[in-house]
Amino acid sequence: MSPREHAHAFDPKPVLDLIASIEADLQRLKGLVEQQVEKFDPANPHNKAPDGKLTEEGVECCYRMFDDGKSRYSVAQQMKISFAAATHRFNAWRKLGGSKRQRTLLG
């Protein structure tokens, strides 16, 4: 085989193996992200402690709703908290940098 013919010899198997590996990694990543989306649920009972106060997850849920541009009224309704509590969380969210704040992982 001349050097020119050898340059055109192509074995697709390593490339196909790499694609299969990347696809498997993407499926795993998709599963992890979908779990996080499910945890972001304003009605999730884990958002409130037995005393009715918001848990860390509940606070983060409020913050993510503010990140998405939701109003304090909307957050109060969906989280089933008072407008005053939503206003308190909104002010805390702004002090943390608003939508530029560091997000925390949900439980």
Tokens 């993407």: give the residue. 26
DSSP string, 19-41: HHHHHHHHHHHHHHHHHHHHH--
> pTM, whole model, 2 decimals?
0.61
Q: Is the pLDDT at 107 greater than 90, yes or no? A: no
Band (81; pLDDT cuts 50, 70, 90): very high
34-72 pLDDT per residue, tens? 666 555 678 888 889 989 899 998 999 999 999 999 999
Band (29; pLDDT cuts 50, 70, 90): confident
